Structure 1
Amino acid sequence: MATKLKAERFSIAEAEARKARLALADEITARDRQLTDMQQLLATNTEKLAVAQKAQADVLRKERELDDAKARPLPVAIVD
């Protein structure tokens, strides 16, 4: 009877350990998926930021060019 009880306990412990390993593996897989998704989101946001920064730099450059053009005196031609 004691050996049968011991075998039963061992079997239950083994089944619980298997369930725990599977649960952990599922959790790790989910975290890996989440990490991959976050890395893709970061890459997308980094690209969007680069495009926005370039657009902002272009606008600032054009504003400076316009300000420079306004500051220059216009040539005056006298026609007889």
Structure 2
Amino acid sequence: MKLIVVAIIACILLIGFSDLASGSDTCPCVLCGPGGKACDQCPERVPLCKDMISILEDVERKVRLCVCGEQTWML
């Protein structure tokens, strides 16, 4: 599960450093989303990233406790 979290973080960072959301010189519109300006009604990238990582860690914990039957002290 930690590998999934690392993969998601890596993808977010790769998209953030790419020029995919920069738009073009011929198009007056500015794309929003990952790697660009946050869309309306969406949080900025850093708080969103932290929130999503927290959600994934909570899911991992619940799976390990409830599905796999691991003890709390093993986490």
Give the TM interval when normalised to the shorter protein.
0.3 to 0.5
When normalised by structure 1's length, the TM-score is 0.32
Q: Which structure shows the bigger proportion of residues in helix conformation? A: 1
TM-score by length of 2: 0.34
Structure showing greater relative contact order (alpha-carbon pairs closer than 8 Å, 6 or more residues apart): 2
